[in-house]
Amino acid sequence: MSTGRMRRVDEAIRQVIGDAVAGDLKDPRVGFVTVTDVRTSPDLRQARVYVSVLGADGGVSEPQEREASLEGLRSAHGFLQGRLAGELRLKRTPTLEFIYDETTDRAMRVDALIDELELS
């Protein structure tokens, strides 16, 4: 599969999982989760789903909030795979692996440091 086609598949999976997590996933462990990226293996057997989790206060999440959200996502694996199978006509529905993406946390910490510097 070409690189461009793989990126389209990744983006389509990101969209479907993101919509399902935002709208239909009722697991109370799953907090404010954003699907930031998806990387699918060329044979479509596996998809790494990168997620960020905001804390209850809208800031950086605590480690237990992140772990609870990841556990909730892992337990919803079958539901989310079913959504993928129903919405995307792929040769094979990939197994999903959820990985915490720290990029958002780092950006929020940098913003907070800049704010502190501007205030001093």
CA distance linking residue 50 with residue 84, whole number of Å: 16
| pLDDT over 70, % of the chain | 92
What is the predicted pLDDT for the residue at 77?
Answer: 95
Reported as a pLDDT band with limits 50, 70 and 90, residue 120 is: low
Quote the Cα angle for 18-61-10, to 5°: 25
Range of the domain at 92: 3-119
* 66 neighbors 32 (Cβ within 8 angstroms): no
pLDDT at position 56 over 70: yes
Number of domains in the chain: 1
Pairing of strands 32-40, 95-100: unpaired
Residue type, 120: S
The CATH number given to whatever domain includes residue 57 is: 3.30.300.20
pLDDT at position 105 over 70: no
Reported as a pLDDT band with limits 50, 70 and 90, residue 114 is: confident
pTM here is: 0.83
Candidates 10, 88, 75; CA nearest to 49 is 10
